[in-house]
């Protein structure tokens, strides 16, 4: 094949490949694929807040924790995230996942009205990544009704939550 090409070019010296243009196109292709490779697709998690502030159970009620409610408390200790479900501490993230799934009781198969409400209560210093992970995990196991606990508004014992 190689000798055939060589003889072809020797016989017809006017035949040539425009190498510069070819390299040009190849470089453009490289840039295009590099751009696509490093670009990450961004999505959104929908979080709806109540029309009126304070939808949620009062502070005293929250203490009792309704059976259809899963209250997740997130903290940070020595730079490590701490997970708590309904006042029960979880050893690590794996244990938290298992406990969360157990308490959800197969939420994905249940009717929307039967699914427990999840309230995420996070300490101020907890990284957003951890909070969003819990939010995302709750949604991935079929718990669509997720709220964020808010501090009590001044002058009332209401606990406002961002409901999804």
Partner 1 sequence: MARIQDPRENAPEINLISMVDVIFLLIIFFLFVSEWSNFDNFAPVRLPEASQAKTDPMPAPGRIVVNLLANGTFMVTGSALDFPALKSMLAAECALSRRLNEGKNHVSLTIRADEAAPSGALRRLFILCLDPQIGITEMYISAYQPESKG
Residues at the site binding partner 1, with contacts judged by CB under 8 A: 18, 21-22, 24-25, 28-29, 31-32, 35, 39-51, 53, 74, 122-133, 135-136, 139-140, 148, 150-151, 160, 162
DSSP three-state, residue 14: coil
> What is the smallest separation between the CB atom of 117 and partner 1, expressed in angstroms?
17
> What is the smallest separation between the CB atom of 67 and partner 1, expressed in angstroms?
25
| DSSP conformational letter for 148 | E
136-153 residues labelled b (16+ CB within 10 A) or e (exposed) = ebbbebebebbbbbbeee
> What is the smallest separation between the CB atom of 30 and partner 1, expressed in angstroms?
11
Q: Which is nearer to partner 1, 6 or 106 (CB)?
A: 106
């Amino acid at each position: 094949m190689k000798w055939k090409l060589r003889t072809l070019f020797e016989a017809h010296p006017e035949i040539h490949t425009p190498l510069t243009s070819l390299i040009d196109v190849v470089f453009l292709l490289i840039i295009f694929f590099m751009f696509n490779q490093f670009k990450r697709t961004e999505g959104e998690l929908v979080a709806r807040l109540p029309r009126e502030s304070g939808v949620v159970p009062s502070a005293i009620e929250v203490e009792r924790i309704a059976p259809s409610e899963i209250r997740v408390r997130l903290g940070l200790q020595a730079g490590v995230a701490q997970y708590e479900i309904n006042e029960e501490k979880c050893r690590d993230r794996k244990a938290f996942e298992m406990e969360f799934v157990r308490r959800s009781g197969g939420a994905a198969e249940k009717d929307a009205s039967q699914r427990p409400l999840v309230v995420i209560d996070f300490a101020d210093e907890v990284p957003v990544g951890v909070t969003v992970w819990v939010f995302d995990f709750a949604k991935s196991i079929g718990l669509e009704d997720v709220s964020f606990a808010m501090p009590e508004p001044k002058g009332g014992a209401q606990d406002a939550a961002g409901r999804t």
